[in-house]
Structure 1
């Protein structure tokens, strides 16, 4: 039984790790949003912007090291990964901001509930961006 579980984990490790760290990133995002929006009563779009920035930084380092196991040999290559990651995450961040605006201002849904709804879609979009464009591996790497 343990071998079977281990075998399944190894086969789907990247997706499982991405989901695990995606949950943590989403948690970081929601907690930062809650602190600024609810506890500090910062305007919700500003709180959302801060939570996106915090989540992007957390996600970059965890995705690079633990999910995609990307080892860059030069500063230029590391910078390339970082700016691509941030660029694509800012793209999904725009979706996040627009979704929040629509859910809160037009549909009158609570800010914290809106944040949680938005995060489900953002996680999927971010996985595709990371896998296809940022931390792509050459065939045969990390097998």
Structure 2
């Protein structure tokens, strides 16, 4: 039952994280006129902070409060998200510049790919010590 609850929580907070990412992107590109690459980077930073807090507390229920375990968790999370950022920006560039897909459609697709990647990395790498099989 825990796995089902974990997956449901991850999907819920993943949707919220994705909405934060997309809304940040739209605000930065459409309202502030920022280039899509810079906007993707800023939107990524905002959504990573939100994702760490929600994944740690509500999805994987990691209760590490001591400094060293917290830093280790945060470091692993950031490292995994840097990899997912690479996947995000690579997907965006490929879809927009090589396949000529609309940037908003590309952003939606890239977010789907990134959410799946992030769940796998978070479950088996970042928060693995708190998961009970």
**1:95-114 mapped onto 2 (5 Å cutoff):** 95-114=87-106
Name which of 101, 108, 111 aligns with 1:116.
108
How many residues end up aligned between the 2 structures? Answer: 133
Partner residue in 2 for 1:13: 5
Gap regions ≥5 residues in structure 2: none
The RMSD of aligned alpha carbons is 1.6
Q: Which residue of the partner structure matches residue 46 of structure 2?
A: 54
- Structure 1 gaps, min length 5: 1-7
CA deviation vs aligned residue, 1:95-137 (integer Å, no higher than 9, x gap)? 1001111111111111111100111111010001000001113
Partner Cα separation in structure 2 for residue 114 and residue 138 of structure 1: 34
Shift in alpha-carbon separation, 1:28–1:132, aligned structure 2, 3 A: same
Q: CA deviation at 1:76?
A: 0.6
TM-score (norm. length: structure 1): 0.88
Give the deviation of 1:138 after TM superposition: 5.3
Offset at residue 73 of structure 1 (A): 3.5
